[in-house]
Amino acid sequence: MNKSKRIAFPVIALLALGSFAAAARAADVSGKVVAQGMRSPENIVVYIDAIPGKTFTPPAQHPVMNQAHLAYAPHVLPVLKGTTVDFKNDDPVGHNVYWPAINHNRKLAHNMGTWPQGISKPFTFNDLGDVPLLCNVHPEMSGYIFVAPTPYFAVTDKEGAYTIKNVPAGQYTLKTWSEEAKPTTQALTVGAGAATANLTVKK
């Protein structure tokens, strides 16, 4: 074995060990949200509010908020701050997209206009909080985008279950957002293994 190969093997081994150690320090956080005084525990956003010392780059691939069967789909779409969302129209009728505020700030209201089937329009969300989506053409339509400070978030299913993937080890604050319930917070410790965090929200 020549000298360059003898050097390369230890370097590769160290890199592999570092990758394994990094993976071992991340774990999934899962649990259930109990919704008191609400029809369903579905569509509640569960997220980690901050990871000290870390900043996050928005995804290159744009998430899609569709308009299909006269409804926003998904009903609730969480995104990282700075993410560009593509608003798509799959219906054979024109749709309008507007929001009256972001995080209750009416100065951030915006109307994207109206467009026909098969067209999508992008918008970049740089302000944290909930974005209530409405349609001037179909007033019965409603949906939400929730702009989160970290990429560690999930949306509950019909049973209130959620899973946040690959959370780095550490101590954090877990938060919820819902269109009906009051926000709630809970301390969270993530170690080398999977973590469980059950929460209760109230209307």
The span from the CA of 65 to the CA of 123, in Å, is: 11
Is residue 11 in a domain?
A: no
Quote the domain boundaries for residue 129.
Answer: 64-149
The whole-number average pLDDT for the span 84-108 is 95
Beta-carbon contacts of 67 under 8 Å, excluding residues fewer than 6 positions away, are 73, 87, 88, 89, 90, 91, 95, 97, 135, 141
Q: In the prediction, which pLDDT does 178 show?
A: 95
Mean of all residue pLDDT scores within the chain:
88
Q: In the prediction, which pLDDT does 193 show?
A: 81
In this predicted structure, the answer to whether residue 180 has a pLDDT above a threshold of 50 is: yes
Is residue 10 in a domain?
A: no
Same structural domain, 142 and 129? yes
Same structural domain, 45 and 95? no
The whole-number average pLDDT for the span 87-104 is 93
In this predicted structure, the answer to whether residue 97 has a pLDDT above a threshold of 70 is: yes
Q: By percentage, how much of the chain surpasses pLDDT 90?
A: 77
Query: 42, 135, 129: which is closest to 91 by C-alpha?
Result: 135
The whole-number average pLDDT for the span 80-108 is 95
End-to-end CA distance of the chain: 69
The span from the CA of 40 to the CA of 44, in Å, is: 9
Whether the model clears a pTM of 0.75, i.e. scores above it, the answer is yes
Give the end of a domain, one of 121, 149, 177: 149
CA distance to 130, 161, 197, per residue, from 88 (Å): 20, 28, 35
pLDDT tens-digit series, residues 109-157: 999 999 899 899 999 999 999 999 999 989 899 999 999 999 999 999 9
Same structural domain, 107 and 135? yes
Q: What is the dihedral of CA 99, 103, 104, 106, to 10 degrees?
A: -50
pLDDT tens-digit series, residues 9-44: 443 333 333 333 444 478 999 999 999 999 899 999
Is residue 12 in a domain?
A: no
Phi, psi angles (nearest 5°) of residue 81: -50, 135
At 140, which CATH number?
A: 2.60.40.420
